[in-house]
């Protein structure tokens, strides 16, 4: 199986087999991290990095990965101010120029769908998204999945509870897809108004996820979260009788059922309404005691940076995996870079090499995406394209940012005119 030349904009651009392959190759690199490989496989290759949003881990671990592979890095960590974009240059022109200076382009940008646009203007080199707005962060997901697989032995069958601002956290969207696709399960706990965006929830349901979404752990107790006793009479897990156990005890039972707990910060920079942000800050306190009640083997994960949602006192606990998780960014990105550049061949046979199908989308005169962070609202040469949301003829999904909106009524059109062709042919 070869990944050479592929663009990675969404975790769904990779098949399950390709994800497993990247994690396998990362395992090999993890054991060879101690030296800088000046005669490594990426010698004579240049990786360009343009980051239009702040970054510590993603920028530096990509750079570290390329250096360890023996390649060179050119880039701008503050491209919003350093590059010609500050003079009004477009993403499209930036991508076309970067292509003639490098062999691989990594970009982070605050607009949802911006990385898809950049990838569309490359004809010769592969592209990797370092995160686009509130949309997706596929390489963070690769290292998150790697952390779970390395530390728990498997992804299949693992239950991961995700806490925090699930609406605006791009890491969560990509991680949820990846986990469910590889046979894991997720339980969501988010303050009011900060749950999963509808398009993410629906895509997860299409992948077979039964929604488990709560505003607090207390609510999870009242809800339908099934509780099991570790050992039943026949050695199999047995369902607990919820009525017999007090709420606090139930919370502990629930916490012990999580194989990993994944926290995210409030993504303050993505709030459209200052008042909502202020109100949410009040509600955004995660009870520190719950960390101590987590199961002995539960991994505590966080993409970082953290604010107040994770207590420093917990850092020395062996379950605190977040700094190890950040460290795994190097071998995982070494694996991804070397595979996309065609520098390593793998004997791993694909479990399944079919990526998740992207729906057909069509340009639609006069209709614009309602998401104000969508790239199509700023880069006006990009034609907005939409797909028909399956099962709901009134909803359109944006090809670039995935957000859904009610189909506008076209002026002077017959009342039942279709704005978008709902054909399911592949792109
Ligand atoms: C995340 C990001 O940039 O989305 N950070 C990261 O890449 N490790 C998470 C965040 O900023 O909260």
* pLDDT 10s digits, 326-352: 999 999 999 999 999 999 876 555 555
Any ligand 1 atom below 6 A from CB of 138 = no
3-class SS of residue 10: coil
CA 304 and chain centroid, separation: 13
Name the residue among 87, 88, 90 with its Cα closest to residue 107.
Answer: 90
- The pLDDT of residue 410 is 63
**166: pLDDT strictly greater than 80:** yes
CA–centroid distance, 47 to ligand 1, in Å, is 21
**105: pLDDT strictly greater than 80:** yes
Residue 57 annotated to the active site: yes
Any ligand 1 atom below 6 A from CB of 181 = no
**365: pLDDT strictly greater than 80:** no
**133: pLDDT strictly greater than 60:** yes
- The pLDDT of residue 400 is 97
- The pLDDT of residue 288 is 65
Residues facing 397 on adjacent strands: 387, 404
3-class SS of residue 322: helix
Q: CA-based angle 293:296:298, to the nearest 5?
A: 85
Question: Which member of 7, 137, 181, 265 is catalytic?
Answer: 137
DSSP state of 314: G
Instruction: For the chain, give the mean pLDDT.
Output: 87
Any ligand 1 atom below 6 A from CB of 319 = no
CA–centroid distance, 393 to ligand 1, in Å, is 35
- The pLDDT of residue 423 is 36
Residue 45 annotated to the active site: no
- The pLDDT of residue 230 is 44
- The pLDDT of residue 293 is 84
**169: pLDDT strictly greater than 60:** yes
Name the residue among 91, 106, 90, 88 with its Cα closest to residue 9.
Answer: 106
Any ligand 1 atom below 6 A from CB of 139 = no
CA–centroid distance, 13 to ligand 1, in Å, is 20
**286: pLDDT strictly greater than 60:** no
pTM to 2 decimal places: 0.90
- The pLDDT of residue 16 is 95
What average pLDDT does the segment 59-75 reach? 96
pLDDT band at residue 128 using 50, 70 and 90 as cut-offs: very high
**223: pLDDT strictly greater than 80:** no
Any ligand 1 atom below 6 A from CB of 303 = yes
- The pLDDT of residue 19 is 96
Instruction: List the single range of 139-143, 160-164, 226-230, 368-372 with lowest mean pLDDT.
Output: 226-230
Residue 87 annotated to the active site: yes
3-class SS of residue 181: helix
CA–centroid distance, 299 to ligand 1, in Å, is 19
Residues in the chain, total? 427
- The pLDDT of residue 33 is 74
| Most confident segment among 27-36, 137-146, 269-278 | 137-146
What average pLDDT does the segment 351-373 reach? 81
Indicate which atom in ligand 1 lies nearest the CA of residue 303. Answer: 8
- The pLDDT of residue 277 is 83
- Residues 118, 120, 123, 129: is their CA dihedral positive or negative? positive
Instruction: List the single range of 64-68, 228-232, 260-264, 334-338 with lowest mean pLDDT.
Output: 228-232
Q: Whose CA is nearest to atom 2 of ligand 1?
A: 171
Indicate which atom in ligand 1 lies nearest the CA of residue 267. Answer: 12
Residue 359 annotated to the active site: no
What average pLDDT does the segment 79-95 reach? 98
What average pLDDT does the segment 111-134 reach? 98
């Amino acid at each position: 199986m070869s990944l050479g030349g592929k663009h990675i904009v969404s975790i769904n651009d990779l098949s399950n087999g390709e994800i497993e392959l990247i994690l396998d190759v990362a395992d090999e690199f993890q054991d060879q991290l101690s030296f800088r490989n000046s005669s490594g496989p990426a010698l004579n290759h240049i990786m360009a990095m343009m980051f239009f949003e702040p970054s510590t881990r993603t920028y530096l671990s990509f750079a570290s990965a390329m250096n360890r592979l023996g390649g060179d890095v050119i880039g701008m960590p503050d491209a919003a101010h350093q590059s010609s974009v500050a003079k009004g240059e477009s993403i499209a022109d930036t991508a076309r120029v970067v292509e003639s200076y490098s062999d691989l382009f990594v970009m982070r940008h605050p607009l949802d769908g911006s990385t898809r646009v950049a990838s569309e203007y490359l004809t010769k080199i592969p592209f990797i998204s370092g995160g686009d707005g509130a949309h997706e962060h596929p390489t963070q997901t690769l290292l998150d999945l790697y952390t779970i697989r390395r530390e728990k032995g498997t992804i299949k069958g693992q239950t991961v509870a995700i806490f925090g601002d699930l609406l605006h956290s791009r890491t969560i969207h990509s991680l949820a897809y990846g986990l469910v696709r590889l046979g894991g399960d997720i339980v969501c706990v988010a303050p009011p108004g900060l749950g999963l965006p509808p398009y993410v929830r629906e895509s997860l349901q299409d992948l077979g996820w039964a929604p488990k979404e709560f505003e607090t752990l207390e609510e999870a107790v009242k809800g339908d979260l099934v509780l099991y006793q570790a050992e039943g009479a026949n050695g199999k897990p047995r369902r607990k009788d919820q009525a017999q156990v007090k709420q606090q005890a139930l919370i502990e039972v629930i916490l012990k059922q999580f194989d990993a707990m994944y926290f995210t910060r409030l993504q303050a920079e993505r709030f459209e309404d200052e008042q909502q942000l202020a109100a949410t800050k009040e509600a955004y306190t995660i009870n520190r005691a719950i960390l101590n009640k987590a199961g002995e083997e539960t991994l505590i994960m966080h993409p970082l940076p953290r604010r107040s949602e994770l207590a420093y006192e917990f850092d020395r606990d062996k379950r605190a995996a977040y700094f190890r998780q950040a460290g795994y960014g190097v071998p995982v990105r070494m694996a991804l870079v070397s595979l996309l550049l065609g520098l390593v061949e793998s004997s791993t046979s694909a479990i399944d090499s079919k990526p998740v199908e992207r729906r057909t989308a069509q340009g639609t005169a006069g209709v614009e995406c309602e998401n104000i962070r969508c790239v199509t609202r700023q880069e006006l040469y990009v034609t907005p394209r939409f797909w028909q949301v399956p099962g709901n003829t009134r909803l359109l999904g944006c090809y670039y940012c995935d957000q859904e909106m009610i189909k506008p009524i076209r002026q002077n059109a017959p009342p039942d005119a279709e704005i978008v062709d709902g054909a399911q042919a592949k792109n």
